[in-house]
């Protein structure tokens, strides 16, 4: 059990060091990255929670939020190699489930939508990137390899291999696979522009049909 825990922590350090060009060495990751510190504290608190230890897991979560600015409920289930980049303002709710190889930027909320009980927070698939300031709310599922644009508010399920942006979140790119694992905002289609273009072509089609009918009745 101890070996598995140490292996998981080692992978948490490695994923940050290999993916953040600002990380000069592993000691910087350990001592200067609040995302790693919050994740390490969570892994301890979560294990204590699973063992039925009262109060202490929540207190660890509370202290971690004060120190790092990141709030992770000890009951949240987090997979391997999560990278919380920058981290300030990140909130991960009690019944959240996060898969492997997920990247979360600052000010992200994985939260609920009210005072409902039971499973009320999102389930995040593998290899997902959630941009800065995005809100993923409610008992919804985000599929594998999804990219959530910065500032988006997602309240519905998102299928695999998609990019979702906007308020509320809309799928603007399907079957999107980026081997570099980077959320490229400059390549994300604007949902408003996409909708306007769709309406434009519908109007042109209607005008064409009206012209055909007018020709027939001359």
Nearest to 43 by CA among 89, 10, 87: 10
Do 183 and 197 share a structural domain?
no
Q: How many folded domains does the chain comprise?
A: 2
Banded pLDDT at 180 (limits 50, 70, 90): low
Quick check: 85 and 66 in contact, CB under 8 A? no
Do 89 and 130 share a structural domain?
yes
Do 45 and 147 share a structural domain?
yes
Domain that residue 215 falls in: 189-218
Looking at every residue in the chain, the average pLDDT score rounds to 89
User: Can you tell me the mean pLDDT for 114-142?
Assistant: 94
Q: Is the predicted pLDDT of residue 109 greater than 60, yes or no?
A: yes
Do 159 and 207 share a structural domain?
no
Q: What is the pTM of this model?
A: 0.80
Do 133 and 195 share a structural domain?
no
Do 112 and 73 share a structural domain?
yes
Do 201 and 181 share a structural domain?
no
- Which pLDDT tens digit goes with each residue over 55-78? 999 999 999 999 999 999 999 999
Do 175 and 136 share a structural domain?
yes
Banded pLDDT at 214 (limits 50, 70, 90): confident
| Contact residues for 84 (Cβ-Cβ < 8 A; gap 6+) | 34, 35, 36, 38, 39, 70, 90, 104
Do 214 and 152 share a structural domain?
no
């Amino acid at each position: 059990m101890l070996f598995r825990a140490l292996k998981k922590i080692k992978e948490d350090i490695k994923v940050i060091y290999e993916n953040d060009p600002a990380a000069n060495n592993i000691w910087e990751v350990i001592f200067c990255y609040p995302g790693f510190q919050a994740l390490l504290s969570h892994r301890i608190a979560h294990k204590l929670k699973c063992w039925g230890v009262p109060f202490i897991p929540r207190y660890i979560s509370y202290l971690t939020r004060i120190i790092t600015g990141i709030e992770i409920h000890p009951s949240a289930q987090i997979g391997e190699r999560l990278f919380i980049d920058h981290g300030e303002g990140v909130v991960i709710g009690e019944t959240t489930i996060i898969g492997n190889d997920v990247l979360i930027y600052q000010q992200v909320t994985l939260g609920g939508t009210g005072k409902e009980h039971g499973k009320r927070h999102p389930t995040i698939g593998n290899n997902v990137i959630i941009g800065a300031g995005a809100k993923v709310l409610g008992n919804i599922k985000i599929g594998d390899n999804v990219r959530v644009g910065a500032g988006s508010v997602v309240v519905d399920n998102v299928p695999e291999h998609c990019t979702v942006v906007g308020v509320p979140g809309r799928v603007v790119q399907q079957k999107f696979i980026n081997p570099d694992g980077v959320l490229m905002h400059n390549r994300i289609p604007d949902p408003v522009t996409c909708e306007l273009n769709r309406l434009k072509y519908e109007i042109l089609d209607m005008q064409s049909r009206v012209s055909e009918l007018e020709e027939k009745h001359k």
